[in-house]
Amino acid sequence: MGASSRPNPSILASPVGAPVEGRVARAEHFFLSSLESWRQSVGVEKMVLVGHSLGGYLASAYALRYPERVSSLILVSPAGIPHGPDTAPKGRIIASKAAEQQHRRASVDDVDAAQMEMQDPKEDEAAMAKARDQSVVRRGLTKFFLWGWEKGLSPFSILRGIGPWGPLLVGKYSSRRFAAQTPEDVRDLHAYIYATSVLKGSGEFCISHLLAPGAYARMPIVDRIHKLRMPVTFLYGDNDWMDVEGGLLSEHILAKEGNKDVQVHVVPTAGHHLYLDNPKFTNRVLDERIKSAPKMAAE
């Protein structure tokens, strides 16, 4: 993103049906090797590493690969931490299926009750037909989305291809998502998002190798995090679409492994971009954890 060199990610091209482990390893290396090269070039021996969203996933992966280079790990609304529906342990899958069946039974009961209350049979038939049509459209869109995700298609490619309608589309998103910011900040955010999104694609084509549809990691960090020995901090917004349960489970796992310096914070009145939604709370936690990070021994 930003003004980075945007290297060609063609090295990640995988044949259909390639093992997940290989896809993930190549995609992680694409990012982690760049970060490690940067660290070496600027002469940083050890650092407090902060990552947001996908950056949280990659910061975790970097800390696992180069633990001697990370004094403290701070994960801000991180992606890829918990299990998803396709990677959950067997017991969790069974529980999820039971909950889903119960939800379906409740939904059927609700539909039956609603149908009994309908007075006009013609209105009933029209409503059922409309529901069927909407269901077909939803299934079609879902199949297209899943196909595009697995093929590595990027929404930014669409943005690059629609020409003058691009700024309008981004403007609607930025004005809605960042409505709590000042008009000047919204304009700056809009300009940044659009300018970076229409540049040459690079890392965006790696996301589908790391994450399955729904933004769940193909190889969840929670299954690897037990190896970390440095302080770890999780921050989530109270209206975040990232799952705080991933942070809480990680805290439990790390505590069992002897790492007691783990914190999970829920930032009030904040969503995924909690550093914008509630900067005062977010910055206070960041400042405290950065200052408490273990210092390097004097040489």
Pick from 193, 201, 230: nearest CA to 59: 230
Catalytic residue among 52, 83, 190, 272: 272
One of 208, 240, 265, 273 is an active-site residue; which one? Answer: 240
183-197 vs 165-177: helix crossing angle, rounded to 10: 130
E strand spans, 186-293:
211-212, 216-217, 232-237, 262-267
**Is 112 designated active site?**
no
- Kindly give, in sequence order, each residue whose CB lies less than 8 Å from that of residue 215, ignoring residues fewer than 6 positions away: 79, 80, 241, 242
- Walk across the sheet containing 70-76 and list its strands: 47-52, 70-76, 232-237, 262-267
What phi, psi does 243 have (nearest 5°)?
Answer: -90, 115
Q: Which residues touch 283 (CB under 8 Å, ≥6 apart)?
A: 275
Q: What's the Cα-to-Cα distance from 191 to each of 160, 166, 174, 184, rounded to whole Å? A: 15, 11, 9, 11
Residue type present at position 255: A
To the query of whether residue 53 is one of the catalytic residues in this protein, the response is: yes
Q: Which residue has the tokens 């994450």?
A: 211
Question: How crowded is the C-beta side of 201, counted as CA atoms within 13 Å?
Answer: 16
293 secondary structure, DSSP code: S
What letter represents residue 66's amino acid? Answer: Y
Among residues 53, 157, 175, 202, which one is catalytic? 53
Q: Is 240 a catalytic residue?
A: yes
The rounded distance, in Å, linking the Cα atoms of 64 and 58 is: 10
C-beta of residue 54 within 8 angstroms of C-beta of residue 210: yes
Residues designated catalytic: 53, 240, 272
